[in-house]
Copies of this chain bind each other. A is one copy, B any other.
Amino acid sequence: MSKRDVILKVATRLFAAKGFDGTSVRRIAEEADLSVAGMFHYFPSKEEILNEIMIGFMDEGYKRLMEIYNSDIGPVKKLEEICKFYVEHYAGHKDQLTILVSEGKSLSLEHRKVFIDKQRVYVEALKRLFDDLAKENLLKPIDSSVLAFIFFGMVHWTYSWYNPQGEIGPEELGRIFGEVLLRGVLKDTERSK
């Protein structure tokens, strides 16, 4: 593992635990076994470290999202697969998820522009999927943006409570999310009431 990657790894852990503003460059350098100046040899600024963490993680997720979206399965199945993927992906990268959710405000103006645009593209992709469902006349008449945000709410919020080592494994949780989103919490016999 390169020194650069060590810095990213350490910073990811610290940013998630204490926040960007609550983490000093001295602490990052210390835990990466470097002097402060040594650390700044690899990154031009503290903010650039944050940016690289966030952009890298988003791009990773988007790539897989598109793979699922472009695969040759029905839209309902796609949504189920996407639920599963995100729960598993985020469960395996809790620190990155925490940073993604909490530290957008710490990015510089330019980086934040890119960040927000990537978020927008994410939401667009989900909206498109819901629009596909609507085209096949499977969907209730609900605004697809709202549906996309409901999805992201459910999934992103796992950062605050979910323990993948607990009773409910990531795959199981992904299945539950898909089920609740598609068909709700009520039993079949009660749905139409």
Contacts and interface: CB of A to CB of B under 8 A. Distances in A.
A186 interface: yes
Nearest to A155: B153
Given A162-B149, A168-B143, A187 B157 contact: no
Interface string A164-193: 000110000100110111111111101110
Interface residues of A, dominant DSSP: helix
Interface residues of A, number: 48
A184 B187 contact: no
Copies of this chain per assembly = 2
Contacts of A142: 176, 179-180, 185
Contacts of A19: 19, 21, 105-106
A9 interface: no
A55 interface: no
A177 B137 CA distance: 21
Contact of A187 (B18, B140, B168, B186): B140
A13 to B, nearest CB: 13
A150 interface: yes
Interface in A104-162: 105-106, 130, 133, 137-140, 142-143, 146-147, 149-150, 152-158, 161-162
Contacts of A133: 185-186
Query: Nearest 10 CB-CB pairs, A to B?
Result: A153-B157, A21-B21, A184-B184, A183-B184, A153-B154, A153-B153, A21-B22, A182-B184, A138-B190, A149-B161
